[in-house]
Amino acid sequence: MLAYNFYGYSAESAVGNGAIILTYPDAPLNLQEITAARTSSSITLSWTAGLQNGGTPILDYRVSYDQSTGDYIVLASLLNQAAYTAVGLTFGRTYNFKVEARNSYGYSAYSQVISILCAAAPERPE
C-alpha cells in the first residue's frame, strides 16, 4: 500500500518492531508511619510502589516534607527501598510527608500526603 504525503506517494513503512512506550510511573501508595520505630526526634515512613512502573523499572524514590507551612522541600532522594527514617526532627512539630517514584522517564506524581506529629510516648515512671 502506498501512503500519500505533500510531495507524492511513498512506500509504506514496515510494521513496528514492538517498541515500548515509556511514561511516568504511578505515584507510590500506602504511605504510612511505622509507629513502632518512632522516637522524640525521628519518624519512619514506608510505602508501596504504584501499580504501574511506566514501562521501565523504578530506579529510586524521593521523600519531601514541610513543617506545616505548605512549603515542601526534598528531605531525601535516590532511596532504593520503600522506607525512610527522617531524623533530627523537632519534638512537638507536625510534619507533612509525600513521596515520588522515579523511573528512566522521570518522576511520578506525589503520593498522598500524611501529617505526623513528632512525639513519643512518655517513659513509664519507676
In this structure, how many other beta carbons lie within 10 angstroms of the beta carbon of residue 118? 19
Which pLDDT belongs to residue 20?
Answer: 73
Cα–chain center distance at 35? 20
With a cut of 60, say whether residue 2 has pLDDT above it.
Answer: no
CATH code, residues 25-117: 2.60.40.10
3-state DSSP assignment of residue 47:
strand
pTM higher than 0.85 for the full model?
Answer: no
With a cut of 90, say whether residue 121 has pLDDT above it.
Answer: no
* Choice between 56 and 69, residue whose per-residue pLDDT is larger: 56
pLDDT band at 116 (very low <50, low <70, confident <90, very high): very high
Which pLDDT belongs to residue 7?
Answer: 63
Domain boundaries defined on the chain: 25-117
Which pLDDT belongs to residue 19?
Answer: 72
Beta bridge partners of 117: 94
With a cut of 90, say whether residue 51 has pLDDT above it.
Answer: yes
Q: What is the mean pLDDT of residues 20-29?
A: 90
